[in-house]
Amino acid sequence: MKNSVKATLIAIAVAIVLLIAGVVFAISQQQPTAPAEGGEPKPTVRTDSHVLDDGGEGAVTVVEFLDFECEACAAFYPVVEDLREKYDGEITYVVRYFPLPGHINSTQAALAAEAAGQQDRFEDMYHRLFETQAQWGEQSEETPEVFRGFAEELDLDMAAYDAAIADAATAERVQSDKADGEKLGVDSTPSFFVDGVKVELQEWDDVEEAIEKAVNG
């Protein structure tokens, strides 16, 4: 009997610990803008972030951390495009890089987008990368020549493109986005923030619901 009671008490204690851990984890995931050292909030947007849509003063800010090789990001791509159209003028939509190490071409794709962005063609490359992901994703080695081909198709200045790809500052720009994402608790893609609050993705319409709530209260 004593052993039975002891086992029951241990089971209850373990359950309580797991419950508390779950609550703490949930809270930490829902508060990505918790103060950093010194009490300053961690930024979701920087001055050099790529803005696809600028809703103007008072607009809801939506930030997506993405990996161009991520299949889930590609699956969300048409969803995002629909949301951009639906909430045009009401949201500012920002894209930030978060290349995952398990994706061989993810960094090369981000570099291509950044190089295009230096010629004010970021969005054109953004579309091209997602529309062609099946062609270059899941490779066994990097294929920078594929992305250079996209740059040529977009009629970019190829000398400037090549210089940007070779410039260490371009890679640093990509990694600075990833570093910010990690500070915000991003560990997978896509990850969305609506007015600084991380959206917990469980259903396809979670992002839309968060935007709708932020736009209409």
- Position 90: which residue type? E
Closest CA to 196 of 176, 208, 210, 206: 210
Give pLDDT, residue 43. 80
pLDDT for residue 29: 37
pLDDT digits (tens, 9 = 90+) for 175-199: 999 999 999 999 999 999 999 999 9
Residue 67 token pair: 């990996």
Who contacts 65 (Cβ-Cβ below 8 Å, separation ≥6)? 96, 97, 98, 177, 181, 184, 186, 189, 190, 191, 192, 193
Low-confidence spans in the chain with pLDDT less than 70: 1-41
Q: What is the pLDDT of residue 41?
A: 52
Cα–Cα distance for residue pair 211/194, rounded to 1 Å: 7
Please tell me the predicted confidence (pLDDT) of residue 22. Answer: 39
CA nearest neighbour of 46 among 151, 154, 158, 177: 177
Q: What is the pLDDT of residue 217?
A: 81
Q: What is the pLDDT of residue 150?
A: 98
So what's the pLDDT on residue 25? 37
> How many CB atoms neighbour CB 13 within 10 A?
10
pTM for this prediction: 0.81
